[in-house]
Amino acid sequence: MKKNKPRVAIQGIRASFHEEAAFKFFGENIQTIECNSFKQTFDALENNEADYVVMAIENSIAGSILPNYSLLLNYNFPVIGEIYLPIQLHLMALPGVVFEQVKYVTSHPIAIRQCIDFFDEYPHLKIVESSDTAACAKRIHDEKLTDTVAIANTLAAKLYGLDILERRVESNKKNFTRFLILTTHGNVEKAIANKASLCFQVSNQVGALAKVLNIFANQGVNMSKIQSMPVLGKRNEYNFYVDVEWEETKHRPRGYGHALFNRLFYPTACRPDRRGRRSYFNRQRTHETTPHRYFG
């Protein structure tokens, strides 16, 4: 029996961008499971303390979050969807505080770097880095700081009762973060998918990777992303993480699966996960910031 309110594990606290992404995918009627690290979100899912994980995987400015690829490989949970969330950063303070009172600004280091043009205009502000944007807003609320502003989203301002002094202080107004939605194998709902996430290695030979990529092209499958990471303890060996897409009007291409098995040094699809289970496709549907849910 399905739970009425899904338990969604996120890295960080309520009103973080991870919770905002969860709201976009599931709607706001969820139980947010706060975790101190991305690994803790996966452990919560594995231990049945959560039904889903929402995890950032890449940002259009900062790039890929490489440690999270290792989590995908080690835990082998199915990816059932994704969200592209626009990152809009606002300057917020306690009600009644005016900008002239402010001496300190606090936020996550990446958020701070994304607002560098704003800080150049106010060199007197002292920057204090923190582990989470929403946690900065919460600290201002809890400690009643009148000389400090936080950089966070509108969710944080609303939840912690802060006023927004300046909106959209990020330098790049077209900054997006991509979040993956994961669940357990037993919780996957059947639906037509139009995207898959794969991980594989190839032999260290001339043209080995090109032969794999040609399979996608020959089968009419679009490769939308490729990311490589060294295999720990093995010189000149890499894991390749690939996202592939196909048209929704077509069924999932069937020929390239068999062709891949003949080319790959070993496909992650054949490797058992931490509990001995095996899976081939991490299937997903892709969409922007609409609140609809897509499963594959």
User: pLDDT at position 143, please?
Assistant: 98
From the list 25, 42, 179, 200, the catalytic residue is: 179
From the list 106, 148, 177, 268, the catalytic residue is: 177
Q: What angle do CA 250, 253, 257 make, to 5 degrees?
A: 165
**Pick from 233, 265, 282: which is nearest to 75 by CA?**
282
In terms of average pLDDT, the best of 15-24, 54-63, 187-196, 217-226 is 15-24
pLDDT of 248 > 80? The answer is no
pTM of the model: 0.83
Name the pLDDT band for 199 (thresholds 50, 70, 90).
confident
User: pLDDT at position 112, please?
Assistant: 94
Phi-psi region of 161 (alpha: psi -120 to 50; beta: other; left: phi over 0): left
Residue-wise pLDDT for 131-140, tens only, equals 899 999 999 9
CB atoms within 10 A of CB 211: 15
Distance, in Å, from the CA atom of 182 to the CA atom of 177, rounded to the nearest integer, reads 16
Residue-wise pLDDT for 47-96, tens only, equals 999 999 999 999 998 889 999 999 998 998 999 999 999 999 999 999 99
* 163-166 vs 195-201, strand pairing mode: unpaired
Q: What angle do CA 46, 48, 53 make, to 5 degrees?
A: 65
Residue-wise pLDDT for 4-55, tens only, equals 799 999 999 999 999 999 999 999 999 999 999 999 999 999 999 999 999 9
User: pLDDT at position 85, please?
Assistant: 97
Residue-wise pLDDT for 264-285, tens only, equals 433 333 333 444 433 333 444 4
Active site residue 179: yes
User: pLDDT at position 141, please?
Assistant: 98
In terms of average pLDDT, the best of 25-34, 194-203, 238-247, 283-292 is 25-34
Active site residue 265: no
Supply the mean pLDDT for the chain.
Answer: 84
